[in-house]
């Protein structure tokens, strides 16, 4: 009906702590929204293989994994903004 599609982007700087990311994904699973949600996870010095063991998110959520050199949380967040 000519309305704008709303999209939310969430930038998560992470050192790859599996327990933290697991809790994050479980929390995102419990969100009830019809909006499109993009989750940008800036992994600082971490292994991308851990994503295979995390819970599945609802279909309106997309996850973008961004490998980041170890430079700190603020630079990881800025890298997510550039995406």
Most confident range (mean pLDDT) of 2-16, 29-43, 66-80 is 29-43
Residue 28: CB partners within 8 Å, gap ≥ 6?
37, 39, 57, 61
**Is residue 59 pLDDT above 80, yes or no?**
yes
Give residue 3's pLDDT band: very low, low, confident or very high (50, 70, 90). Answer: low
3-state secondary structure of 83: coil
Interval 8-21 mean pLDDT: 85
3-state secondary structure of 40: strand
- Residues 40-51: what's their mean pLDDT? 74
- Spatial CB neighbours of 36, under 8 Å, sequence gap ≥ 6: 5, 6, 7, 8, 60, 62
**pTM for the whole structure:** 0.74
Is the pLDDT at 29 greater than 70, yes or no? Answer: yes
């Amino acid at each position: 009906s000519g309305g704008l599609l709303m999209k939310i982007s969430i930038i998560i700087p992470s050192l790859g702590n599996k327990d933290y990311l697991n809790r994050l994904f479980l929390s995102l699973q419990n969100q009830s929204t019809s909006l499109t949600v993009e989750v940008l996870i800036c992994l600082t010095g971490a292994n991308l293989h851990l994503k295979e063991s995390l819970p599945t998110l609802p279909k309106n959520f997309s996850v973008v994994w961004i490998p980041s050199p170890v430079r700190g949380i603020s630079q990881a967040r800025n890298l997510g903004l550039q995406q």
